[in-house]
Structure 1
Amino acid sequence: MTLRMILLGLVLGGPTVAVRGQGMAPAERQMSPAQAANPDMQSSDDTPQMDPAQQKAAKTFAQKPHVSVAHPPIKSVVLTPLSQRERVQQMLDRFTFGARPGEVDQVVAMGAGQWLAQQMSPETIKDPVLDKRLAVYPTLTMPTTQMITVFPDRAQIGPVADGKVPYPVDPLLNAVYEVQVYKLLQERDQKNPDGSVKPKVELTDAEKAERKKRDQATATRIAGDLLVLPKQQRMAALIKMPVEDRIAFTANGNLSGNLHDLLFADFTPRERETFNAMSPQVNSSYNIGSELAQARILRDVLSERQLQEVMTDFWFNHFNVYIAKDSDEWYTTSYERDVIRKNALGNFRDLLMATAKSPAMMVYLDNWLSIGPDSIANGVNPQNPNSKKGNKGLNENYGREVMELHTVGVNGGYTQSDVTALSAILTGWGVDRPNQGGPFLFDPKRHEPGPKTWFGYVIDDNGNVAKASASATSVPGKTVASDDSMKQGIAALNILASSPKTAHFISLLLAQHFVADTPPPALVDRLAKVYLSSNGDIKSLLRELIASPEFNSRQYFHNKVKTPVEFVASAFRSTATEPQNPGALVNTIKTMGMPMYYALPPTGYYLTADQWMNSSALVDRLNFAYQLTNGKFANQKFDAPKLLAMGLLTPTGAGSFAGGAPKTAGTPAQAAHGDARFVGVSASVQAPAVAGPAGVDIVLRVLEGTMIGAPVSAQTNQLIDKQIDQQPANANSTDTLNLLTALVMGAPEFQLR
């Protein structure tokens, strides 16, 4: 029987995972229910004509899915409370990326309240292990303008190649530009003057193999030359070599893994970045996103500030940006660092305002392209009544999404007229020199001047707000915008942050992510009241949620499906395994369908069970579990005996088998597991065969208690037993322990949190 068949049998034959939220197919999300019911919300045909750049930007989100937040009817149920230990398990399952071995017992001993209070003050928590690992990623702390310099793309390389801009003076940067210019000129040589590609002589397979062999030999020779030098002289020697040699040396796959690792171990972080910047094709800026994603998975696995990381993950997905959208390849790092993580446990109003003033958001949702029809930037000259207005106009992407997805929700009571009005209010909010990494900028020349009637309010250009009246006449306003006109947008965002609709929508999303795919309406309503009474204080919302009867009930215990990020992070945390190759983990998460920072639609990734619970996705997870536990994943070390020992040494390890009753040795086959395959373990923990569980059963219970911490069905255990019984006769204790660990990691219950 193949591993794939074994794993499929374990998943498809295991307990059914309840899907509490039914997602709509993408085609069904083309128009939201509110839009379908209200013609005023559907796009009109009399909007100002857009220039080509705006048309291109508008198409980005023309087909984006929408989210309906209407509650399905739920019958009231009597909630069954969890035990003290289960409450702690629930809290760690939801507000960390997985409990580490023994962590539940530690939190029970210290008190759940103390743990939560500590996590809510992340600045007081030391994180030395993570800090050491993150030190090799300098872009995490770089200003955006410096990132562009270190990892240039075509916009920076082209002028140097054309002789319009000099090469950098810095030796390392100069070396990068020499390689990138060489590659760009080679690329241009492959094109005709009209831009068409010249016919290319295709190499035969034998010729390709010979070229690859030659390049690998060159890379090996250069590595040998460098390794005999003192480590502080190696990069200086490399950048003096001919450009062709540098390209062969840094190209992916030319340098063997051992030689690559030996050199990288002695490079400084800056030298590593220089190496990486020389290795790709003309655009080297992808390294920024690579470092960001690797750092993210390291934070999820290693950080002691788990609550902050969980909420950073939640809020980034809520205020999603797409790293591949234009200059967001540079802006996304500072967006996560200075906007999302900084405000993840703060106040929702501050978080909303910070995202609105972020270059990443302005670029992603194209607000920097939005121009008021009556603005100076569109050709209107207040001093000349006969001045001709241009054809530029509003871009409504951000104006729509900030209401529909960020605040009041799709059922928030707004109309298409409100979308247009808010888009006009937010004209001028943009970016200074986005292609050079400039900061947020409010440009009054692009702002649509005058008061706006929006969402039941009239807001003037100074940010003064009044209730709109059906009988009110239009209020004359400025004909020219000024720097003070930004106050109009600030006032509108404050109205959204204070809205009861926003309170309800944010409460619903929190309850959906941390309690159930279809959250209890009573809990959502209580959270909304806390939101309003605390002015959107995120910590107050989390305290209310964690203390709620619903969160601490058996009905909502261990019922949320893990996303690929959560699964991979928990696989490492629950087994006390430190990631040695975070880049490989990033690729694995991508393979599982969740490439980090690459969610294109503004909805981000859907986090409900229906998005992730299918046989193909689960087989990917189970194959990963097998590779990891058998030492076949990217040279990652895995220590199953250490994991077993840690489980046995916890108060709930060998003694109570993670709270589950020990299985009796029902058959000779079961009883035979212990002595034959777990010599070291059975000597210390195995009871007499007739009276106590067999060795494998003990190990299985300890692994399940350590890695899952929740009840495991009899059906899952029977399937695991069956796979163990079918092992080859020559399987040793290590083989059995690794297979057991893989099967627990692949069990349906491990896919839940």
Structure 2
Amino acid sequence: MKAFSKFLCSVFLLLLSVLLLSSFLSGPSSAKRAVSFPYKHGGLNKRQAAAYLLSRFTYGAKPGQVDQVLSMGLENWFNQQLDAGLPDDSLNKRLSSYDALNLSNAEVLSKYPPGFVVVQMALKDSVISKDSVGKAVDKKAYNNQIQAYMVKKGLKSDQELYKQFISQNILRAAYSNNQLQEVLTDFWFNHFNVSFTKGECAQFIPAYERDIIRPNAAGKFDQLLLASAKSPAMLYFLDNFTSQGAPAPPAPAMNMMMATDAQAKNKAQPVPAAKPKNVPGLNENYAREVMELHTLGVDGGYTQADVTQAARVLTGWTIYPISSIGYGSAMKALVTKIGENNLAAKGFVHEGDFLFTPNRHDKGEKTVLGKHFEANGGYEEGVSLLEMLAHHPSTAKFISRKLAVRFVSDNPPASLINKMAKTFTTQDGDIRAVLMTMVSAPEFWDTKALRQKTKSPFELAISSVRALNADIQQPYQLFNWVSRMGQRIYYYQAPTGFPDRGQYWINTGALLNRMNFGLALASGRIPGVLLNLGALNPDKTATNAEAAMMTYSKIMMPERNMDQTYKRLVPLLQIPDVGAKVNGPGTNVPVSSAPLSPVSNKFSGMDAVSGAEEMNEKKKEMAPVLNNNVLAQVVGILIGSPEFQRR
């Protein structure tokens, strides 16, 4: 009996140890920990809570999607979105005609070289004369020469590359099942902004978003920061690829002088030498922005001296020779001279399109935010600096606040930011864990946050096509409208990225443009964007304009109280041809009365439709709905309404 008791005790201890071990291995950072969203804190029922989640973590609810979230469970749906592992076969089929999306940076430069590179190549091959560049008498003939040369060489316009990239972004936002990943990709791209307006980095932007931003969108912040710092797009955009420091001092930086008898009794006293001054090759742009915009924030506790010292730490971070002509070619002669196989032994670091060059690195001592870097350091200094910045308390608060502004309100409560910052710190900058802390907090569900975020033009356009189950055949047409409404994606010139505040987007002209967009979309006047409004209401319950407004508002804005909105919008239904009335002077966004027709596919692989025959068939099927002016007016007014502008 005693032996049996011992045996039971041993089994119990074994089971206990297994449970403790499994608990330990699961770790405290698991973002999938059992949680229950406190949506009742905001007075919401479960359906309203599901609609609220969709408004915050997707580009807008599609018809019937609230029921899908409910069937899964709110918490399960959110975890699934954090995983970003849902199949996207339908989206991938739409993207299959865009042949530039999977090219490496080197392949992009080879196939879609920037204009100045094409000119260099044409000069080298004696196709044009040096005197004709920029001052040709017959510009048409000059352009024809360039075009003919590009065709002969199998080159394509860099504008075609940009158009493909913009179009794929619109399709991903509209159709990806992994909506949160796309929303986070947009957030982080805006945070680490680069722009097509700066030609030096434009060719590298597609790979920057594909390989740097999207894969790291819900990962560890330090990995995202380091990857962005080493990407050609960022190195060119903020000029760090040119930054180089002073050469290493030949001897310990000390001068000796003799002190007077009274001072030191004839003993030699060392006097520190003057610190090395900035050299012409030092560029502080990236060092400043990585502190102000990417990590610490403008009030993060750094000084101008810290910026200069950080710039010295990051000298020598540049581009590997990607192309023999143009960008990335500066280091080609150096790499060729040393030999690819000898780079590591000489202190060089080559990772993908990134190259650290020790001969351009400032090897002197530096101090940043109190952290001392010994002399004769190398690449590891920069990594250490970025890790320090990524884990700084100011960074935890700055990033948490930006996430809260994006997903909660323009002025999120300090208590929520503090909770998120604490998770950021304790969970090693785990973005997933920070988001879970945010959505699990009562402050996220507070009535003060509900529908307080104003949609950007991009969010308005994408949420509209999602709400209406639109078929986007030519996405670049939507880009034109989004640009007209004030947001030319990928072209924002400042490193700050687009402001994330409602007051930036809303003014009288912007509201008119938004109403015009809604009316144009609903009436089928945006070429290549097809929709069937009648199919959204299979029960045909809308027998007049007011009934249609009630029916379609519930489809487009599920689980919202629309009583006050009806009172404001119903009078607009009495205005004949409201589009002509709304489209006032100064909007520059005419609502065309032209019928929907296929637009020619000028560039291969872009805005590709399934063929004119298929387009015409779809038009025939949808013609009765598209010609229903009353229904189109109702839906257009709803899109332009203040309530639909909120998310």
Instruction: Sort the TM-score into its range (normalised by shorter chain).
Output: 0.7 to 0.9
Spell out the pairing of 1:288-687 with structure 2 (5 A cutoff).
288-374=161-247, 392-433=280-321, 435-437=326-328, 439-460=353-374, 477-478=375-376, 485-645=378-538, 681=541
TM-score, length of structure 2 as denominator length? 0.73
Corresponding residue SS for 1:137:
coil
Counterpart in the other structure of 1:95: 57
Q: Deviations over 1:381-436 (max 9, x none)?
A: 889x9xx9995231111111111111111111111111111111111111123634
Q: Deviations over 1:320-353 (max 9, x none)?
A: 1112323312111111011000100111111111
Question: Structure 2 counterpart of 1:344, which letter?
Answer: A
Please, which runs of 5 or more residues in structure 1 have no aligned partner? 1-77, 166-180, 203-210, 212-242, 251-272, 461-476, 649-679, 683-693
Change (3 A) 1:83 1:370: same
CA contact (8 A) 1:369 1:395 kept: yes
Q: Deviations over 1:443-475 (max 9, x none)?
A: 111111033111011122xxxxxxxxxxxxxxx
Q: Distance in 2 between matches of 1:358 and 1:555?
A: 40
Counterpart in the other structure of 1:53: none
Q: Let me know the Cα RMSD of the aligned residues.
A: 3.2
Return the match for 2:638 from 744, 748, 752: 744
Question: Does residue 76 of structure 2 align to residue 114 of structure 1?
Answer: yes
Question: Structure 1 counterpart of 2:644, which letter?
Answer: F
CA contact (8 A) 1:148 1:285 kept: no
Q: Distance in 2 between matches of 1:304 and 1:751?
A: 23
Question: Structure 2 counterpart of 1:718, which letter?
Answer: K
Question: Structure 2 counterpart of 1:125, which letter?
Answer: L
Question: Does residue 122 of structure 2 align to residue 161 of structure 1?
Answer: yes
**Following TM superposition, by how much is the alpha carbon of 1:701 offset from its aligned partner in structure 2, in angstroms?**
1.9
**Following TM superposition, by how much is the alpha carbon of 1:137 offset from its aligned partner in structure 2, in angstroms?**
1.2
Q: Deviations over 1:484-530 (max 9, x none)?
A: x1111111111111111111111110111110101100000000011
Please, which runs of 5 or more residues in structure 2 have no aligned partner? 1-39, 255-275, 330-352, 578-623
**Following TM superposition, by how much is the alpha carbon of 1:718 offset from its aligned partner in structure 2, in angstroms?**
2.7
CA contact (8 A) 2:468 2:556 kept: yes
Counterpart in the other structure of 2:111: 150
CA contact (8 A) 1:517 1:560 kept: yes
Residue range with higher mean Cα deviation, 155-164 or 415-424: 155-164
Q: Deviations over 1:232-272 (max 9, x none)?
A: xxxxxxxxxxx979979x9xxxxxxxxxxxxxxxxxxxxxx
Question: Structure 1 counterpart of 2:106, which letter?
Answer: T
Q: Distance in 1 between matches of 2:532 and 2:105?
A: 40
Spell out the pairing of 1:700-739 with structure 2 (5 A cutoff).
700-711=549-560, 714-727=563-576, 734-739=628-633
Corresponding residue SS for 2:530:
coil
Change (3 A) 1:328 1:720: same
Q: Deviations over 1:545-566 (max 9, x none)?
A: 1111121122211110001111
**Following TM superposition, by how much is the alpha carbon of 1:358 offset from its aligned partner in structure 2, in angstroms?**
1.0
Question: Structure 2 counterpart of 1:444, which letter?
Answer: P
CA contact (8 A) 2:112 2:155 kept: no
Q: Distance in 2 between matches of 1:490 and 1:275?
A: 45
CA contact (8 A) 1:302 1:578 kept: no
TM-score, length of structure 1 as denominator length? 0.63
Question: Does residue 179 of structure 2 align to residue 286 of structure 1?
Answer: no
Q: Distance in 1 between matches of 2:457 and 2:83?
A: 28
**Following TM superposition, by how much is the alpha carbon of 1:611 offset from its aligned partner in structure 2, in angstroms?**
0.6
Q: Distance in 2 between matches of 1:103 and 1:275?
A: 50
Question: Structure 2 counterpart of 1:108, which letter?
Answer: L
Q: Distance in 1 between matches of 2:533 and 2:139?
A: 52
**Following TM superposition, by how much is the alpha carbon of 1:118 offset from its aligned partner in structure 2, in angstroms?**
1.3
Change (3 A) 1:368 1:285: same
Counterpart in the other structure of 1:29: none
Change (3 A) 1:354 1:328: same
Corresponding residue SS for 1:551:
helix
Q: Deviations over 1:177-224 (max 9, x none)?
A: xxxx5xx66xx7767xxx7564x799xxxxxxxx9xxxxxxxxxxxxx
CA contact (8 A) 2:247 2:362 kept: yes
User: How many residues are paired up?
Assistant: 512
Counterpart in the other structure of 2:102: 141
CA contact (8 A) 1:327 1:363 kept: yes
Displacement over 4 Å in runs of 4+:
188-191, 195-198, 243-248, 273-279, 380-383, 388-391, 712-715
CA contact (8 A) 2:482 2:488 kept: yes
Change (3 A) 1:324 1:717: same
Change (3 A) 1:341 1:201: closer
Q: Distance in 2 between matches of 1:421 and 1:748?
A: 49
Question: Structure 1 counterpart of 2:421, which letter?
Answer: A
CA contact (8 A) 1:408 1:501 kept: yes
Q: Distance in 2 between matches of 1:278 and 1:629?
A: 39
Change (3 A) 1:713 1:370: same
Question: Structure 1 counterpart of 2:237, which letter?
Answer: Y
